[in-house]
């Protein structure tokens, strides 16, 4: 609840936490096959949840505070008036949508200028604007697999003589579903900040040693997520520091994970797709940090292009990582 009051990006994690605490804490394993629901635990959990949610707002109801301060807090928690994206787009599905809109706008403008050169005003073709309700629906749809699977895991009996057996550790699945839900919230939420990718990278760190696929997913997502944060450090004096930190992190992560998941096997942790990813990120870095500042920015040419390219490239990679995270999450669950 404390996280929800800090940022709206933690709201997509709420249904998963509710499912986990409901079936792992509020249900007791009885002597029979069925599991017994404990109202005492449920009411206790509900009481402390509501207290932690409502108590921080109490000071704003006391003089000299008033209801206007509460409305200001909720406007900041749910910044619908600020638009779909920041000026620097977070690398999610909406960056791809806005990037496609830019391409369609440019092509329509170019075609009109070529065919009717004397026309000074025109209405270019643009994609429809995205409303907060649309993003909410897509976000809920993306969360359904994790919610449904979590519900099935919680409702299955834990007895050995039951007809259905559970072939997954509920706690391990919860961490994986947490990373998936956080990544879904980053990909589909309204007005997502680029720093929100850390809410998916951090829980994924706990899963990086589970398998080779998890290690590769962590390296890919951390490389893309951290690269998407580099434009936030835009001062020239920060260039060497931010670049060296990202490269050093990738080198250390690759070295440790290779020893842990491969266990001395003569096999490469990184695939040809990972090497291609690093090459693309390197090209984008050279253009954004070297070529554009030296040759284009001084003349005021295409000032938005480095941020646009960074957002679209990271968004494409994030979407592929989101798909891989979904497949790994579903592969963890085997119910027979």
DSSP string, 123-184: ----PPPPPHHHHHHHHHHHHHHHHHHHHHHHHS---TTSSS-B-S-HHHHHHHHHHHHHHH
User: How high is the pLDDT of residue 107?
Assistant: 80
Instruction: Give yes or no for residue 120 having a pLDDT over 50.
Output: no
pLDDT at 111 over 90: no
DSSP 98: H
pLDDT for residue 77: 72
Please answer whether residues 321 and 169 qualify as being in contact, where contact means their C-beta atoms are separated by less than 8 angstroms. no
Q: Pick 115 or 286 by higher pLDDT.
A: 286
Question: Which of 47-61, 68-82, 240-254, 276-290 bottoms out in mean pLDDT, i.e. has the lowest?
Answer: 68-82
Residue 95 CA from chain centroid, whole number: 13
| pLDDT digits 0-9 by tens, 154-204 | 766 555 555 555 567 778 889 999 999 999 999 998 888 888 999 999 999
Residue 122: pLDDT over 50: no
Per the CB < 8 A criterion, the answer to whether 185 and 318 are in contact is: no
Tell which wins on pLDDT, 275 or 28: 275
DSSP-assigned letter for residue 211: -
3-state secondary structure of 42: helix
What pLDDT does 278 receive?
96
DSSP 35: E
Taking the CA atoms of residue 285, residue 290, residue 293 and residue 294 in that order, the dihedral angle to the nearest 10 degrees is -160
Q: Look up the pTM and report it.
A: 0.86
pLDDT of residue 2: 52
pLDDT of residue 192: 87
**Is 122:112 a contact under the CB 8 Å cutoff?**
yes
């Amino acid at each position: 609840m404390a996280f929800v009051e800090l940022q709206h990006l933690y709201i997509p994690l709420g249904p998963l936490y509710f499912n986990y605490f409901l079936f792992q804490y509020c249900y007791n394993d009885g002597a029979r096959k069925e599991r017994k629901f404990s109202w005492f635990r449920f009411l206790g959990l509900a009481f402390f949840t509501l207290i932690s949610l409502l108590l921080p707002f109490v000071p704003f109801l006391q003089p000299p505070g008033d209801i206007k301060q509460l409305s200001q807090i909720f406007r900041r928690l749910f910044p619908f008036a600020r638009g779909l994206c920041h000026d620097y787009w977070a690398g999610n599905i909406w960056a791809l949508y806005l990037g496609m809109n830019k391409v369609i706008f440019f092509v329509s403008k170019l075609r009109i200028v070529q065919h009717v050169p004397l026309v000074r005003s025109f209405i270019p073709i643009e994609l429809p604007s995205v409303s907060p309700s649309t993003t909410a629906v897509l976000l809920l749809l993306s969360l359904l697999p994790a919610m449904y699977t979590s519900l099935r895991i919680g409702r299955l009996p834990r007895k050995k003589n039951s007809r259905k057996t559970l072939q997954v550790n509920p706690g391990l699945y919860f961490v994986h579903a947490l990373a998936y839900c956080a990544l879904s919230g980053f990909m589909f939420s309204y007005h997502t900040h680029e720093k929100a990718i850390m809410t998916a990278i951090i829980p994924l760190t706990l899963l990086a040693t589970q398998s080779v696929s998890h290690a590769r997913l962590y390296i890919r997502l951390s490389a893309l997520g951290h690269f998407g944060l580099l434009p936030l450090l835009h001062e020239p004096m920060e260039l060497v520091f931010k670049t060296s930190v990202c490269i050093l992190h990738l080198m250390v992560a690759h070295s440790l994970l290779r020893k842990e998941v491969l266990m001395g096997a003569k096999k490469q942790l990184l695939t040809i797709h990972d090497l291609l990813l690093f090459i693309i990120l390197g090209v984008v870095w050279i253009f954004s940090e070297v070529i554009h500042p030296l040759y284009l920015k001084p003349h005021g040419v295409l000032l938005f292009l480095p941020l646009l390219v960074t957002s679209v490239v990271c968004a494409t990679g994030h979407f592929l990582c989101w798909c891989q995270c979904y497949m790994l999450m579903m592969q963890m669950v085997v119910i027979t």
